Amino acid sequence: MDISSSLLVVALAALIHASFQLSLSVLTMLSGHAIGAKHSQARVLRLTTSFVAGVALMTILLLAFISLVLVDVFGHDIPLLMWATAAGLLFGVGVAVWLFYYRKSVGTSLWIPRSVATYLSDRTKATKQSAEAFGLGVSSVLGELLFIIAPMTISALVLIQLPAMWQLIGIGIYAVISLSSIVIVWVLIGGGHKLSAIQKWRESNKHFLQFAGGSGLIILGFYVYVMQVISSSVGGI
């Protein structure tokens, strides 16, 4: 895969990551609690900024960590079986997102373990300091690991084949695109928009986001399978 194709795969994977909603839900709740507790707008902004910083740092660290593990295990020459496994992971998570991402009820409850949801909800309510908000951002990324593992793994596989400078650029592209949705909500909250309008938009578009996220994963899985597995097999013959 050449550099531009690799970066396009990373960009698509990041876009799929951006469609996942746990961090957005936590940010919405954090803002609601902070505004409802009569904190000043400056303090609300400090808390939400720290939260977004926590999400950004954990996203970058996770992608770098997965890349490091893959380099350590396979080097820069990825075996065909690993590409096939990664494509299978994308298909599997894609179908799971189609079927299970949201719970079958009103609201934006996600299909994550209820203990994780309760923990994040309780921590959101208890968050008063910027450092706590930063930790909450880190935790919310870990909470949706079940879903983001697929786009992150494929991005890591693609990135470790690139020259070092392009790897850094690729990680930057992934971080910027995957954080775009949360940054938009952060800007809206900072600009004084009503949380009800943001939450109503999220709720009314949740099935579209679910379909788009799942479809994106399946399309990416198909592309990776064709480009890396089938083309290599045919080339080998």
Binding stretches for other proteins (CB under 8 A) = 22, 25-26, 28-29, 31-33, 35-38, 105-110, 112, 117, 120-121, 192, 194-197, 199-200, 203
Q: Which is nearer to other proteins, 5 or 41 (by Cβ)?
A: 41
Q: Which is nearer to other proteins, 112 or 157 (by Cβ)?
A: 112
Secondary structure letter of residue 38 according to DSSP: T
Q: Which is nearer to other proteins, 153 or 199 (by Cβ)?
A: 199
Q: Least distance from C-beta 112 to other proteins, angstroms?
A: 8
Please provide residue 110's backbone torsions phi and psi, each rounded to the nearest 5 degrees: -100, 160
Q: Least distance from C-beta 193 to other proteins, angstroms?
A: 8
CA 181, CA 178: separation in Å to the nearest integer? Answer: 7
Q: Least distance from C-beta 57 to other proteins, angstroms?
A: 21
CA 19, CA 28: separation in Å to the nearest integer? Answer: 15
Give 102's strand partners. 110
Give the SS3 label for residue 92: helix
Q: Which is nearer to other proteins, 5 or 118 (by Cβ)?
A: 118
Tell me the CA distances in angstroms from 103 to 5, 96, 174, one per residue in order.
35, 12, 28
